[in-house]
Amino acid sequence: MDASKVQDLLRFLSKDAKVPLASAMGNIPALQKANLNSPEEISKSNIKALEEIFTNDKMAKQVFNAARRVSKKRVSSTDDTGISPQAKKNKNIPMTKGSTPYQIESSLCLPNSTAGDDELRNIILVTNRAPLVLAFAVCVLKYTMPEQPISSRLSLAQALVSANSQTKAISLGIQSERAAEEEGWGEGQPVVKVLGRGIRVLKRWDYDPQEGKPLQSTSEEHDSSDIPVIEFLGSPDANDSPDKMPPLWGVDLEALRNSHSEATKPEVKSGNRLPIFTAESARSYLIRSITRLQENKFPVKKSKPTPFMDGEQEDNVGHLLRAINSVCFSWSTTLDRSELDKRAWAWYLRVRPDVQSGAQGWGEKGQLRLSNILDLRRSP
């Protein structure tokens, strides 16, 4: 292994994985002996191999998660992905031109965490209620609508957040006019239940998330626990019922109303192209809305997040999703899909962040203890 590769590995350990420099230098020989000479090789290894090298289990998981994060970013930036440079710069622009459905779904992968219960229980996040609803919806949809790819789950979850925000604004007197759904906008579109609320959807008949998938690729990652990660392509054979839905978009009813004059009746516009909630914007919103409580103080908000902060926020989201996913998984064999969907809203209400402004705290940030989420799991 030449000196440049050693320097790259040392830089990864100390900068990306946040390993103390002395410890990083001391563990490089062991990593070399195990043929773990790059973040890519480390990300493909077994977490137990790292635990044998790093005596601190927490540090081993830290290195493993950082390797997966760095590797994923490098893969997404290579020329053979077919993703346009503009789409890479702006995550709110759907990556459709020159991209296969498989590449689009891959780019929307949500962060995963390999943290164990003990580590998760010690984590306190800082967020407001809307991102938590989004996180709950994305996780629950894996079990209630398993055929839906991650792009659809994110869009449906964002539609739910928007509908709840409208309801909250009206109840508090912030918004005087009725919500678009109450006025009949989107009438005639199919409705699906997400956390007990009806969401108007647009069917994507011509979209196959499996299109473009490499023959030797697998769509689902695995970790050392029994809890499945939130796989991103959906399971097309998971629901064989006659009313099985194709991939869906959540319809943006407020945007639909705003795009027409007040004199236009909702029902005469059903043939027009419907505005939808994009998966890219939902994912971006979730990542930037979850921070971690440090030293019993709220984190200082910076004007422009650095790449280091972005990686840290992805870790925070991964921890949150893992906690929620473990709850859904524990109940998935006991509750049917409709009951699981209803129960999830009650779970959210029990753990939503505490905010000083009480009922007006939809947009206020508060503390979220992952231990409270883990306590919702079904007892063995």
Give yes or no for residue 225 having a pLDDT over 60: no
Instruction: Report, as an integer, the average pLDDT of 102-113.
Output: 88
The number of beta carbons lying within 10 Å of the beta carbon of residue 196 is 13
- Per-residue DSSP letter, 178: P
pLDDT tens column, 65-95: 888 888 776 554 443 433 333 334 334 334 4
* Tokens representing residue 153 in the block: 């789950």
Tell me what pLDDT residue 356 has.
Answer: 46
pLDDT above 90 coverage of the chain, percent: 30
Predicted model pTM: 0.68
pLDDT value at residue 243: 58
Q: Does 280 have pLDDT greater than 80?
A: yes
Query: So what's the pLDDT on residue 227?
Result: 63
| Residue 132, pLDDT above cutoff 90 | yes
Q: Is the pLDDT of residue 160 over 80?
A: yes
Rounded CA gap, 378 and 380, in Å? 6
Cα 185 to Cα 371: distance, rounded to the nearest angstrom? 40
State mean pLDDT over 110-135: 90
Measure the CA–CA gap between 368 and 371, rounded to whole angstroms.
9
Q: How confident is the model at residue 51 (pLDDT cuts 50, 70, 90)?
A: confident
Helix (H, G, I), strand (E, B) or coil at 135: helix
State residue 321's pLDDT score.
Answer: 94
CA distances from residue 328 to 57, 78, 170, 334 in whole angstroms, order as listed: 26, 35, 31, 10
- Strand ranges in the chain using DSSP code E only, listed in sequence order: 124-127, 191-194, 197-203, 248-250, 291-292, 366-369
pLDDT on residue 229: 59
Within 10 angstroms of residue 368's Cβ, the number of other Cβ atoms is 26
Dihedral sign, Cα of residue 334, residue 138, residue 226, residue 102: positive
Torsion angles phi and psi, residue 97, rounded to 5: -70, 120
Q: List the one residue out of 103, 336, 72 whose CA is nearest residue 232.
A: 103
In the predicted structure, residue 357 carries a pLDDT above the cut 90: no
Average pLDDT, the chain: 77
Question: Mean pLDDT, to the nearest integer, of 121-138?
Answer: 92
User: Band of the pLDDT at 271, cuts 50, 70, 90?
Assistant: very low
Looking at per-residue confidence, does 74 or 258 come out higher? 258
Confidence band for 335, pLDDT divided at 50, 70 and 90: very high
Q: Convert the pLDDT of each residue in 135-158 to its tens digit.
A: 999 999 999 999 999 999 999 999
- Structure confidence by residue, pLDDT tens digits, 297-325: 444 444 444 444 557 788 899 999 999 99
